[in-house]
A and B are shown apart, each in its own frame.
Chain A
Amino acid sequence: MAPTELERPVKDVREALMVARNTNGQLVRRPLSPHVQIYRWPISMALSILHRVTGVALGVGTLLLTWWLVAAASSDAAFATAQAFIGSALGLLLLFGWSFALFFHLYSGVRHLVWDAGIGFESPAYNITGWAVVIATGVSTILVWLIGLAVW
């Protein structure tokens, strides 16, 4: 009889941990705990991945900062081109996304620094600080754009 899929030699040592015998002596794959898609996302999970996503997004956003500085250092024409793009619909949309990402990453970063001090790991605390980050991000982003558009 040909060896079943479970009886072939393991290629990766980690695979061996996933194979066992049941009470009938048959080889079985051990059940996995529910995958990430199964869970209802608690706020901590959403904020955790959003911290990374906004971090990478801000990295892409540094290209805009670089362009703006290079243009200002180069010529009036180059600066006018950069300013025109930033003032365009696409530019303002990118700038809005950038400001949201910056505020979120900043407040979420403060939350991380507090955790690094060993504070705020308890059950009600991390939910409260999580929502505080969301609210502070929303308020700051809207406030900055209200002031910015009023000044502009």
Chain B
Amino acid sequence: MAGVPHIDMLRSPLARARGLGSAKAGSTHWRMQRTTGLALLPLSFWFIFSAIHLAGASRQAVVDWLSAPLPMVLMLALIVATFHHLQMGLQVVIEDYVHQEAAKIVSLLLARGLSWLLALVCIVSVLKIGL
């Protein structure tokens, strides 16, 4: 039987699972992806409606619109839900397609960092316009 390929199966299932992370928050990512997606359903329709309403509008018209409490709150909600949803979605895509460990970690950090930065830039812009 020498030379026959075989797999070393001496490691127990527990040993193979160890170090791959705690199972305690395993469903959080999945659940938040759905929760933010659900929130984005009405928010997206509202945003499309607003975008049509503002087609070709002057800056003053945009400022006036975003200064009202309801559009401002909905816009902030849209930004938070969008970038949270985006960050989680990009994470799944990167984990599925980038297999080289260093490249995976770097792209995961970049996706998360850029999502955070863009979200903050959008939030500050809305607050600057509306407040």
Contacts and interface: CB of A to CB of B under 8 A. Distances in A.
Interface residues of B, number: 37
Interface in B87-107: 89-90, 93
Main DSSP-derived SS at the A contact region: helix
Given A72-B62, A144-B48, A59 B90 contact: yes
Name the residue among A56, A72, A113, A151 with the largest chain B CB count within 10 angstroms: A72
B122 interface: yes
B129 interface: yes
Contacts, number: 86
Given A15-B5, A55-B89, A113 B38 contact: yes
A62 B119 CA distance: 9
B34 A66 contact: no
Interface of B: 3-8, 34, 37-38, 40-41, 44, 48, 51-53, 55-56, 59, 62-63, 66, 82-83, 86, 89-90, 93, 115, 118, 121-122, 124-126, 128-129
